[in-house]
Amino acid sequence: MSFISEFNTLPLDALVKRSLSTTVDGARESLAREKRSLTDFAQLISPAAGELLEHMGRRAQTLTQQRFGKVIRLFAPLYLSNECINNCSYCGFSRDNPILRVTLSLDEMKREADALRAQGFRNLLLVAGEHPKFVANDYLRDCIARLHPEWPSISLEVGPMETAEYRPLVAAGADGLVVYQETYDRKVYADMHTAGPKRNFDWRLETPERAYAAGFRRLGISPLYGLADWRFEALSVAAHADYLLRNCWKAALTISTVRIRPCAGEFEPLTHISDRELVQLVCALRLMFPDVGLVLSTRELPKLRDGLIPLGITMISAGSHTEPGGYTGAGKENLHQTVRGKIVELASGSSEWAPQPDRATNATGQFNIADERPAAEVAKLLQRLGYEPVWKDWDAALTK
Ligand code: SF4
């Protein structure tokens, strides 16, 4: 039994309809409950509940402070590689995008990690596109083993693997795995993923369970808002979280709230979730899952990030770069351009894809960041808001 069979029987369309037709009184009833069902969650993300947003915000804030204290954990993504064999329409790293690519060597990766460590980070998310040649399992294992002595917490956001393939990565020192389903709508998923192993929806959906079986003790999930109807996605991820809390209960679970950002390929979002709806979603997730970590990335503008923090967010990235070598310029010498997945000779200096000497790195990023404030500035802001910024999220010794 996996989440797939449960997911296939969920009345998601009926729940979306229920959400759209619920009344303010219905939403108020769901808000008043101690323990909430998926139907309550549908009512909390309803247009009607939008009228109760202030009330929801206060409840979410109180609950977050009761369960997590006034603490925000900080993490940094370290992009190892932007090579990818998948075509995902919404991603700058998509195979067919003619971008500048690189996979960092172990020394280059260490340089990037050292720069992040010097900023204060102790919680690292290693990110890479899916490419069996450039981002082989041995490479990932060696990266983790090299970092493990200095990094108490290492998570991965890489192509999904079999349980047996994950085990050496856990043994090397990785403790967290993040995998976004991107969209829980099978039809949209098929339209968005036109080439590569990622086309397999079920394989991706089961990834957190395989990771848990391999020993990962922090799991992160999310849709990418902007592909399918946001209420459908929110209900799906809530059902997914509920399943993982019941079945993978030794792991700490986080849910992200990521919206599509501009990237190479110039994909335009297919659907829209407004800032106000995003705020409502964060509050509803907190009310539904009092103990689940909620993650906010630098995809959102500073003003919205600062406003969301007190409402339920427990973990944020800061000062992020989405290109390999983005923190130090590491790997700049080994850039190459790929066209439809094949390496081609670099264009001449006049091409917009050619390396620009005045930039720290020229590898192409996955998407544009919206909050470019340095990590130290974000940490100071957290303190001004009365929160303690925590750079170290996890210590494996605590679980022994
Ligand atoms: S979303 Fe992931 S799998 Fe898809 S193109 Fe981007 S890096 Fe590759």
pLDDT tens track for 280-304: 999 999 999 999 999 999 999 999 9
Mean pLDDT across the stretch 69-95? 96
Q: Tens digit of pLDDT for each residue in 298-326?
A: 999 999 999 999 999 999 999 999 999 99
Pairwise pLDDT comparison (399 vs 62), residue with the higher score: 62
Mutate to test the pocket of ligand 1, among 79, 80, 87, 88 (most ligand atoms within 8 A of CB): 88
CB 260 within 8 A of CB 226: yes
User: How far is the C-alpha of 224 from the C-alpha of 234, rounded, in Å?
Assistant: 10
Mean pLDDT across the stretch 343-352? 58
User: What confidence score (pLDDT) does residue 395 get?
Assistant: 53
Q: Would you say the CB of residue 281 lies under 6 angstroms from ligand 1?
A: no
Q: Where are the beta strands (DSSP E) in the chain?
A: 71-81, 87-88, 100-101, 123-128, 153-157, 176-182, 193-195, 218-225, 252-256, 258-259, 293-296, 315-317, 336-339, 342-344, 388-390
For 306, the token pair is 């600062």
User: How far is the C-alpha of 46 from the C-alpha of 18, rounded, in Å?
Assistant: 8
| DSSP character string of 145-163 | HHHTTT-SEEEEE-S---H
Pairwise pLDDT comparison (350 vs 227), residue with the higher score: 227
Cα 113 to middle of ligand 1, angstroms = 22
Mean pLDDT across the stretch 346-354? 52
Burial letters 245-256, b for 16+ CB under 10 A, else e: eeebeebbbbbb
Residue 322 phi/psi, 5-degree rounding, is -110, 15
Q: Would you say the CB of residue 97 lies under 6 angstroms from ligand 1?
A: no
Residue nearest to atom 1 of ligand 1 (CA): 91
User: What confidence score (pLDDT) does residue 38 get?
Assistant: 98
CA distances from 194 to 20, 197, 359 (A): 32, 10, 33
Can you name the residues that pair with 145 across neighbouring β-strands? none
Cα 95 to middle of ligand 1, angstroms = 8
Q: Would you say the CB of residue 273 lies under 6 angstroms from ligand 1?
A: no
Mean pLDDT across the stretch 91-97? 93
Burial status of residue 61 (CB atoms within 10 A of its CB: 0-12, 13-18, 19 or more):
middle
Q: Would you say the CB of residue 91 lies under 6 angstroms from ligand 1?
A: yes
**Mean model confidence pLDDT for the chain:** 93
Burial letters 208-222, b for 16+ CB under 10 A, else e: bbbbbebbbbbbbbb
User: What confidence score (pLDDT) does residue 339 get?
Assistant: 73
User: What single DSSP character describes residue 221?
Assistant: E
Q: Would you say the CB of residue 101 lies under 6 angstroms from ligand 1?
A: no
Q: Is the pLDDT of residue 347 over 70?
A: no
